[in-house]
Structure 1
Amino acid sequence: MMGDSAMKVIGIGDNVVDDYSHIRTMFPGGNALNFSVYASMLGCNSAYLGVFGSDESAKHVQRTLARIGVDTSHCRSADGPNGHAILTIEAGERVFISSNEGGISKSVPMEFIFDDLDYLQTFSIVHTSAYSYMDGYLAQLQQLNPLISYDFSDDFESEYALSLCQYIDFAFFSCAEWTEEAVTELLEKVVNKGCSVAVATRGPHEVIMFDGRSWFRQAPQVVIPADTLGAGDAFISAFLISYVGGKANTSVQPPLLIENSLEKAASFAAEICQVHGAFGHGLRY
């Protein structure tokens, strides 16, 4: 555990079941939900806020979160299919086949997250993602206490992504296919738009991070993966919790704190690569 148990964090947005059709097993997942679960694994007081469907997939995700102890007290349920992705594993690498793009959640506006502002104000970090239907609410979220983290994943259009960076504190990008030069150029632009910290994971290559003053790099830990699903979310979660938690401890110099946080992130991501699904809890069907 690396988190301060008093640190409260929340993932807002997408939840899915990752359906491993080759072994007929459904695992809970989704960028925002994975953050909530990983934060809980890392010792935080963790919550998830999003929309569940009304099918068996939704029930499995809800039961799993209850078992883990992630707070879902402010979630909504809607009649219809839960978020659902079909994927398979090839040599330990996850391969997406298809998705229903969040299922019923894409027809439920996320405005309801502001129904209880006192609740939202209690968190240190809000993490959301490109698949969370949250872009239109970032400006409103920015007015509140929590730091905002956003995962752009690998499916982003640079100009649009940059237009959101004025509202967020931490921006994460997946740039496995990018040149190093293109990555550094992107991260500089992100920080110039007002983001405090910009991070690009690059598959098997070094992670690159820029905080407006210094450049940092972190090599991934070499493991033979059982399943790479969730590795990026694990990296994000461990980095945020270590960095934000460590900032409260003013005795640690910022560059050292960042280096330590990146190292912990790489280590936790490697650990998650040994787990089937994003964090286990598979249900056979």
Structure 2
Amino acid sequence: MTLSKNKASLLGIGDNVVDFYKDRSEFFPGGNALNVAVLAKRFGLEKAGYIGLVGNDVEGEHVIKSLKAEGIWIDRMRQACGENGKAVVHLDEKGDRVFLGSNKGGIQRQLTLRMEEVDLEAVEEHGCVHTSVFSYLENELPKIRERANAVSFDFSSHLGMDYVKSVAPYITMAFFSGSKLDDQGIDDLIATVAGLGVETVGVTRGSDGAFWQVAGKRYRQGIKPVEVTDTLGAGDSFIAAYISGILMGHSVEESLDEAASFAADTCTRFGAFGHPYKVEEA
């Protein structure tokens, strides 16, 4: 698959895992940077790519197979000897995920990505990059930002301001999970991060929807009611759809509404974007 310069294109760089559903004895490909790339293409972007490290085990091979099936550009993905990132999850009676443990990123954490010139050329070709706190790319962000039109970063629930301040100069969009914050806490977080020069700051809070600020203007987006099967990947779906909508020229309001619908649809099935792998019982 060759690349062509396209402003409506996204490159995920960094974390990937497989989410092993213990009660179902099956795992699904996932991880924030990988999910956002796949889900952005599913939403409607003409092209999306992913650069990351996968293991040479069954889990890593399944991640590669799933990305190929989704039509994701993976020419610069690395495969190394070792375990792929893996998280063990359980779903409660509401369909909310409960993490039971992980191998702490597997080979992706052990080796850590380093951006080579050909990777940075891919950054230029895609234009927009998405990564996360789980990708351990902090040292590479200055190089990425220099070559990208836009860089989005998912902090998840990592709210330590020393860390946020170290990342903020190199990103244009910041996303947070605000499940533990009240309205005032979210307002303070958005104001602080925007004050660091980040144009778009978004905070999702589960069933309470999303709190957003773009270029100084505040927005509020509610959720779309749906019969919930599994909430895993809903936040990544929201981010992917929002970024994609903006890249496709939609307004902030339209992009947030589309993101809410897209996230709700993700909640109706298992896994962030499907592709289950059944694990045979020993």
Which string of whole-angstrom CA distances, capped at 9 and with x for unpartnered residues, describes residues 41-87 of structure 1? Answer: 11220111000111000001111111111111101111000000000
CA distance in 2, matches of 1:197, 1:205: 19
Structure 1 residues 275 and 109, CA, compared in 2 at 3 Å: closer, same or farther? same
Q: Flag structure 2 segments of 5+ consecutive residues without an equivalent.
A: 1-5
CA distance in 1, matches of 2:194, 2:7: 29
CA distance in 2, matches of 1:114, 1:261: 33
Question: What residue number does 2:8 align with?
Answer: 7
Structure 1 residues 237 and 98, CA, compared in 2 at 3 Å: closer, same or farther? same
On the 8 A contact 1:206/1:220 being kept in 2, the answer is yes
Give the counterpart letter for 2:164 in structure 1: A
Establish whether residue 233 from structure 1 lines up as the match of residue 227 from structure 2: no
On the 8 A contact 1:209/1:217 being kept in 2, the answer is yes
Which string of whole-angstrom CA distances, capped at 9 and with x for unpartnered residues, describes residues 65-115 of structure 1? Answer: 111111111011110000000001112111111111210111223113544
CA distance in 1, matches of 2:265, 2:179: 20
Question: What residue number does 2:92 align with?
Answer: 90
Give the counterpart letter for 2:17 in structure 1: V
CA distance in 1, matches of 2:105, 2:63: 13
CA distance in 2, matches of 1:233, 1:80: 26
Query: What's the % identity of the aligned pairs?
Result: 36
On the 8 A contact 1:188/1:212 being kept in 2, the answer is no
Question: What residue number does 2:63 align with?
Answer: 61
Q: How does 1:1-285 map to 2 (within 5 A)?
A: 7-44=8-45, 45-91=47-93, 92-246=95-249, 257-285=251-279
- Please list every run of at least 4 consecutive aligned residues from structure 1 whose deviation after the TM superposition is greater than 6 angstroms: none
CA distance in 1, matches of 2:69, 2:247: 27
TM-score, length basis structure 2: 0.93
Superposition deviation, residue 205 in structure 1: 0.8
Which string of whole-angstrom CA distances, capped at 9 and with x for unpartnered residues, describes residues 173-202 of structure 1? Answer: 000120111111111111111111000001
Superposition deviation, residue 38 in structure 1: 0.3
CA distance in 1, matches of 2:266, 2:116: 29
Superposition deviation, residue 6 in structure 1: 7.0
CA distance in 1, matches of 2:14, 2:258: 25
CA distance in 2, matches of 1:16, 1:146: 27
CA distance in 2, matches of 1:138, 1:114: 14
On the 8 A contact 1:162/1:189 being kept in 2, the answer is no
TM-score, length basis structure 1: 0.92
Give the counterpart letter for 2:23 in structure 1: H
Give the counterpart letter for 1:196 in structure 2: E
Q: Flag structure 1 segments of 5+ consecutive residues without an equivalent.
A: 248-256
Superposition deviation, residue 119 in structure 1: 2.2
CA distance in 1, matches of 2:253, 2:116: 34
Deviates more, 1:103-112 or 1:91-100: 103-112
CA distance in 2, matches of 1:14, 1:283: 19
CA distance in 2, matches of 1:281, 1:116: 27
Which string of whole-angstrom CA distances, capped at 9 and with x for unpartnered residues, describes residues 218-238 of structure 1? Answer: 011122310000000000000
Give the counterpart letter for 1:137 in structure 2: E
Q: Say how many residue pairs are matched.
A: 272
CA distance in 2, matches of 1:89, 1:206: 21
CA distance in 1, matches of 2:173, 2:117: 21
